[in-house]
Structure 1
């Protein structure tokens, strides 16, 4: 359990939670045996590598691109990890797990720094995701990215259990 001293504002709480969630994701990436990252077990359409890369890509999209800002990730992340992509359609070599982990590790600090204006900043235009949820502020999309990350982290754990044994 995390304990913080004193009262903190909601925005600080959101950033700390982002860092906590990302810490869990990074620990999971460190625990995955390298030989299992590209296996796609029956019943799944993507691999562990794809899920980690997808977490990084979607958070960039939900934090930066919906604000009309450039992603801080290489273009290869969009090519290999955007929604609708799959290892079955990959040509060439995807980013390595080390590159993906480095991107994941750097994101929380970049996001915190770039959102000094606040998380209540309105999006250029409302953004509706594939689930039909409409977002109007940068904070809403950031919070949703944490939910999204948790979903994919659970998928990673399920794939790892099947891939290892």
Structure 2
């Protein structure tokens, strides 16, 4: 488990560094040929983790339904993400790691509703979901690194 959390924390530090390198206007820009922006990707990795790890474990999430709907799989940016929303997402980058560590240590993850991702990964346990989440976040970091070339 230590390796899973270590990778996750490193990923999240890289996300923060990237997000802090751009203006709000740049974070919201959808380059030609892309369907989303840096802000959407940031929100997406947060709500995806909550869905993969918490919702599929039968537990409540720590993000609002509104946030989930805004950034869930298959959604696209529908407006401008505000600075307050960016600040909330940045705070969630690390607070959710701490909540997940705490919940794992306290034995809250006891069941898992098996799920096959759109890319064909079959997840049968919370640990598998946490591992897949790290893979998923790395993919989105790659998408963001591509987007930033065009903003």
| Same fold, TM-score > 0.5, yes or no | yes
Which structure features the higher share of helix residues? 2
- RMSD, matched Cα: 2.1
* Shift in Å, 1:132: 2.0
Q: Distance in 1 between matches of 2:108 and 2:64?
A: 25
Q: The residue matched to 1:15 in structure 2 has which SS?
A: helix
Deviations 1:97-117 (A, max 9, x none): 111111112111111111115
Q: Structure 1 pair 161/107, CA: closer, same or farther in 2 (3 Å)?
A: same
Structure number with greater Rg is 1
Q: The residue matched to 2:61 in structure 1 has which SS?
A: coil
Deviations 1:21-78 (A, max 9, x none): 2111121121122220111111210011110000101011111001011110122211
Q: Give the aligned partner of residue 149 of structure 1.
A: 137
Contact persistence 1:52–1:100 (CA under 8 A) = yes
Q: Give the aligned partner of residue 117 of structure 2.
A: 129
Q: Give the aligned partner of residue 96 of structure 1.
A: 85
Q: Distance in 2 between matches of 1:119 and 1:135?
A: 18
* TM-score where L is the length of structure 1: 0.82
Q: Structure 1 pair 75/120, CA: closer, same or farther in 2 (3 Å)?
A: closer
Q: Structure 1 pair 82/141, CA: closer, same or farther in 2 (3 Å)?
A: same
* TM-score where L is the length of structure 2: 0.89
What stretches of structure 2 of length at least 5 have no aligned partner?
Answer: none
Aligned residues: 150
Q: Distance in 2 between matches of 1:51 and 1:103?
A: 14
Runs of 4 or more off by more than 3 Å in structure 1? 91-95, 117-122
Which structure features the higher share of strand residues? 1
Which of 4, 18, 22 is matched with 1:28 structurally? 18
More displaced 10-residue stretch of structure 1: 61-70 or 71-80: 71-80
Q: Give the aligned partner of residue 57 of structure 1.
A: 47
